[in-house]
Amino acid sequence: MTAAEAPAGGGAATGTPRRVARLSYFFPAHNEEANIEALVAEALETLPTLAETFEIIAVNDGSRDKTGDIANRLAAAHPDVVRVVHHNPNRGYGGALRSGFEASRYELLAFTDGDRQFKIADIGRLTERLQAVDHPDVVVGYRIKRADPFIRIAYARTYKLANRIFFGLRVADVDCACKLFRREALEGIRVESGGAFFSAELMNKIRQSGRSIAEVGVPHYARTAGSPTGAKPSVIWRAVKDFWGLRIRLWLNRGSAMRRGRPILGGD
C-alpha cells in the first residue's frame, strides 16, 4: 500500500510553515449570511502568511438568504483574489465541493466548510505536512476534539467504521472539512456522488489509485451562527445509497467503478 494513512503526531503545528507558491482555497456556503463575511475577512488576513499567491472561491449553493449578495459584494471589493460560484437551485454538499475543485486554478487546493468551524490558519498545519520529506499527495485533517452534538459524533463513528470495513479506508476523520490536495493527485479521479458521500468517495478513489494520504490533527470549533444540515434524514439516506452503490460496483468491476462520475477537476 502506498498511502501513508496513519495520523501524524498529536496535531500541533511545529512552527510557522514555509509559504507555498500558489494555493486555491474554496468553501461551500448554503445559507451562511452570518458567517461568510467574517470567513472571507479571515482568509484575506491569513492566506498571505501561507501562500505567495492565493485565491478565495466562495461556492454559494442555492442559498435563500443574503449569502449570494454578500459574496458578490466581497468579490467586487477584492476582484484580484475573491471569486464566487453560484448554484441555483441547491446542488447539495458534494455538488458545492465539486464546483470548488473545478473553479480552482492553482497547484494546491484546500477547502474548509463555510460555517467557520475551522480556522484558516490551521490550513498551515496541512501545508507544513505536505512539505515533509515523504511528500504526500493529499493531507487531510482530523478533528482533535469534535465540537458537535452527540448524534453527529455517533453518525461519524459509525460512518468511519463502515468505510474501514467495506473499503479498507484507514482515515481517522473522512468527512473532516479541512483538506489539502496537490492538483496532480486529482488528475484522472472521477467522483459520482453529489451528496454527503462525496468526500468519502473521493478519499476512497484516491486511495484506490495509489496516491498517498497523510493526516494532521486540527482544532474544531462550535458553530456560532447558521444551521447545520448534515444530520437530516434525507442527507443520510442519500449518503447510504451512494456508499453501497460504490461498494457494489467496486466488487463487480473495479475498473468500471473507478471510471464512473465526472472528473474532479472538470473537463470531459
C-alpha cell at 236: 443520510
> What digits encode the pLDDT tens for the residues 228-263?
655 678 888 899 999 999 999 999 999 999 999 999
**Global pTM?**
0.90
**Do residues 77 and 146 touch, judged by C-beta distance below 8 A?**
no
In angstroms, the CA 249 to CA 257 distance is 5
Residues near 64 by beta carbon (within 8 Å), at least 6 away in sequence: 31
The predicted pLDDT at position 235 comes to 84
> What digits encode the pLDDT tens for the residues 189-198?
999 999 899 9
Nearest one of 156, 154, 146, 150 to 217, comparing CA atoms: 146
**Do residues 145 and 151 touch, judged by C-beta distance below 8 A?**
no
Size of the chain, expressed as the number of residues it contains: 268
What is the helix (H) or strand (E) element at residue 191, kind and residue range? strand 190-191
Amino acid at 37: E
What three-state secondary structure class fits 133? coil
Query: Domains of the chain, with CATH numbers?
Result: 20-261 (3.90.550.10)
Mean pLDDT of the chain: 91
In angstroms, the CA 70 to CA 114 distance is 13
In angstroms, the CA 36 to CA 48 distance is 19
**Do residues 110 and 24 touch, judged by C-beta distance below 8 A?**
yes
Q: Out of 47-56, 164-173, 178-187, 226-235, pick the least confident.
A: 226-235
Say how many CA atoms lie within 13 Å of 116 toward its Cβ: 18
Burial 67-95 (b: 16+ CB within 10 A, else e): bbebbebbbeeeeebbbbbebeebbbbbb
Confidence of residue 9 (pLDDT cuts 50, 70, 90): very low
Report whether pLDDT(34) > 60: yes
> What digits encode the pLDDT tens for the residues 35-48?
999 999 999 999 99
In angstroms, the CA 217 to CA 140 distance is 9
Confidence of residue 17 (pLDDT cuts 50, 70, 90): confident
Quickly tell me which residue has 515523504 as its cell.
134
For the chain, what percent of residues have pLDDT higher than 90?
80
Burial 102-141 (b: 16+ CB within 10 A, else e): bbbebebbbbbbbbbbbbbbbbbbbbbbbeeeeebbbbbb
